[in-house]
Amino acid sequence: MEQVAVENPYGFKAALEQGGFVAQATFGIMALMSLVSWYIIFTKAWDQQKIMKQAKDMDKKFWSSASLKEGAAKLEKNSAYRQIVDDGLRAADHHEGRLTDKIDAHEWLTMSLQRSVNAINGHLQGGLAFLASVGATAPFIGLFGTVIGIYRALIKIGMAGQASIDKVAGPVGEALIMTAIGLAVAVPAVLGYNWLLRRNKAVMDDLNAFSADVHAFLMSGSRMAPQSAAAPAAKK
């Protein structure tokens, strides 16, 4: 006997159709927020991974060179580490060291290198504010859809004069779906934000340490000695 497929009157598609423009617009906003959130998570994770790979490449090639210029030439052109070195060398060449200079070489190089590091940090931080906003607002946008669904259920109860399950199943189902979608959008955004933030801190700590080494080399001709593992413990 041939079975006839019957469309579910309480499914997701039916909930959007019955919910009208408000439900469809709410779902569209949350879908867009989710797509942008995942795009930011993947692209920023890729950017971080590239810099981490550049760090390994820098450790192998850079400090074994005879000069900063030679070391920079061994790094990739789009490397964050090469950008810091190039900016440092450019700042050192620009500062002529005359007695009439109002900014000494130490302060001039510090400002230039910090500006370079801040530019990289600004690129890595781009989009994280959006993730934080999605994590904070998506549940409430879903809650708005929930309120509309419950409101429609109450209207149907009032028109029918009784709270029969067939009258309220659709609107209540729509309300629960909107709540679930809001959480499904918010949770990955919050987790992605925290994960990227932790990785950004590790990347920036390494870039700041490298910047300090470049600064020391430009000022004294030698790299800063790496801090021993016992030093932080001694400070505590």
Question: What is the per-residue pLDDT for 4?
Answer: 45
Q: What is the dihedral of CA 142, 146, 147, 152, to 10 degrees?
A: 140
Range of the domain at 123: 12-94+101-223
Q: Percentage of the chain surpassing pLDDT 70?
A: 72
User: Could you read off the pLDDT of 146-161 as tens digits, one per residue?
Assistant: 777 777 777 766 776 6
Residue 84 lies in a domain: yes
Residue 234 lies in a domain: no
Residue 135 pLDDT more than 70?
A: yes
Question: What is the per-residue pLDDT for 6?
Answer: 45
Cβ–Cβ < 8 Å for 98, 85: no
Number of structural domains the chain divides into? 1
**Rounded mean pLDDT of 55-75?**
82
**Rounded mean pLDDT of 48-55?**
90
User: Could you read off the pLDDT of 164-181 as tens digits, one per residue?
Assistant: 666 566 666 677 788 888
User: Could you read off the pLDDT of 76-110 as tens digits, one per residue?
Assistant: 888 888 888 888 888 877 755 554 455 677 788 88
Task: Check residues 186 and 161 and name the one with the higher pLDDT.
Answer: 186
Predicted confidence band of residue 130 (pLDDT cuts 50, 70, 90): very high
Residue 143 pLDDT more than 60?
A: yes
Residue 65 lies in a domain: yes
**Rounded mean pLDDT of 109-119?**
88
**Entry field: residues in the chain:** 236
Predicted confidence band of residue 203 (pLDDT cuts 50, 70, 90): very high
* Global confidence as pTM: 0.76
Residue 229 lies in a domain: no
Residue 22 lies in a domain: yes
Over the chain, what HEC string results?
Answer: CCCCCCCCCCCHHHHHHHHHHHHHHHHHHHHHHHHHHHHHHHHHHHHHHHHHHHHHHHHHHCCCCCCHHHHHHHCCCCCHHHHHHHHHHHHHHHCCCCCCCCCCHHHHHHHHHHHHHHHHHHHHHCCHHHHHHHHHHHHHHHHHHHHHHHHHHHHHHHHHCCCCHHHHHHHHHHHHHHHHHHHHHHHHHHHHHHHHHHHHHHHHHHHHHHHHHHHHHHHHCCCCCCCCCHHHHHHC
**Rounded mean pLDDT of 136-146?**
86
Cβ–Cβ < 8 Å for 141, 180: no
Residue 4 lies in a domain: no
Predicted confidence band of residue 231 (pLDDT cuts 50, 70, 90): very low
**Rounded mean pLDDT of 183-199?**
94
